A = this chain, B = another copy of it.
């Protein structure tokens, strides 16, 4: 009896194998004006002219972002809201308010998640797990962030015009939504073939204006564990893509992985670095739950579709802090979750 485990899909210490295909049937991305002006501007499905997206508050603006993005993704999949079994969603606001007010009208059973800026990875991972487990045919994942609601939530009122050090990142205004399915469609964007769930890594760093450095150890730990769990090396991937480490975090990550014997140079990409141009004064890069989500939908899935990449490791990263924990002098632990994404054959 004790030899039967029932845990058929365990893979190594932190991973889940995906023996039946989980298809990304469709996705959508809506971004703010600054993101629209950046290098990926033409790739987003929609770009807001007004960053309030017609709403009265920044929080409502973020809720509107989630709502419109999910609606767009469901439409692109040729489905209606009733076809979606579960909604997996989260954001950076206290008590996940962007999701609560953005998603109520869909009337889809909601699984609320929190992994800071890694929530896009966590929600896709849990969505894939529900499909692999036979619990749903269609599942949707949606995450968002908004520069102005995040500044208000974590830092200073925008009106203060406070200065930012060069190691700081700029919270992306944007939302990405994904429709996952157990059914092969006519034109799926990619397939999810593996998951690695991260643990909290806390090296004691406390600088909220250098979140890349706070998160890089978690990304390094997760990537090493992923390689161990699946018996793979960087050679097995065309690209390894972190969420929002930015320029400082990227350097820390590459150094930490080099110490472990993994050379990622030439095949590491960070969504936070890709989303803004150097001239846009975003300093170390973009961040937020929306950052990896919009880059996944607009850029990464596109490159998989076009065949430029065959298999990538997508690793959204999160910094676990609140303004209370920061004010109480706590450290900023990191977490990261990974998905193996492959080109649909």
Residues of A participating in the B interface, judged by any CB pair closer than 8 Å? 1-2, 4-10, 14, 16, 20, 57, 59-60, 85-86, 90, 92-97, 100-101, 103-104, 107-116, 122, 126, 129-137, 152-153, 182-184, 197-200, 202, 320-325, 328, 330, 333, 335
Contacts and interface: CB of A to CB of B under 8 A. Distances in A.
B95 A116 contact: yes
Top 7 closest pairs, chain A to chain B, by CB? A133-B133, A94-B94, A6-B182, A109-B197, A8-B134, A95-B322, A100-B320
B137 A135 contact: no
A214 B95 CA distance: 16
B198 A109 contact: yes
B197 A324 contact: no
A111 B198 CA distance: 8
Contact of A133 (B14, B108, B111, B135): B135
Nearest to A96: B114
Contacts of A85: 7, 10
Contacts of A94: 94-95, 153, 322-324
Given A104-B200, A110-B200, 19 more contacts: A6-B134, A6-B183, A7-B131, A7-B136, A10-B135, A10-B137, A59-B324, A93-B324, A94-B95, A94-B323, A96-B114, A96-B320, A97-B325, A109-B198, A111-B126, A112-B113, A112-B115, A113-B113, A152-B324
B7 A182 contact: yes
Most buried by B among A6, A110, A183, A198: A6
Contacts of A323: 94
A113 B116 CA distance: 11
Contact of A5 (B1, B112, B182): B182
B134 A9 contact: yes
A101 B325 CA distance: 9
Given A197-B110, A320-B95, A6 B131 contact: yes
Contact of A325 (B1, B59, B130, B321): B59
A171 to B, nearest CB: 14
A182 B241 CA distance: 34
A114 B116 contact: no
A96 B94 CA distance: 8
Given A200-B110, A324-B97, A136 B10 contact: yes
Most buried by B among A1, A109, A116, A199: A109
Contacts of A59: 324-325, 328
A135 B7 contact: yes
Contact of A2 (B16, B183, B322): B183
Given A126-B111, A324-B97, A9 B133 contact: yes
A15 B198 CA distance: 28
Nearest to A17: B135
Contact of A114 (B95, B199, B335): B95
A86 B195 CA distance: 13
A115 B94 CA distance: 12
Nearest to A115: B112
Contacts of A182: 5-7
Nearest to A20: B6
Nearest to A7: B137
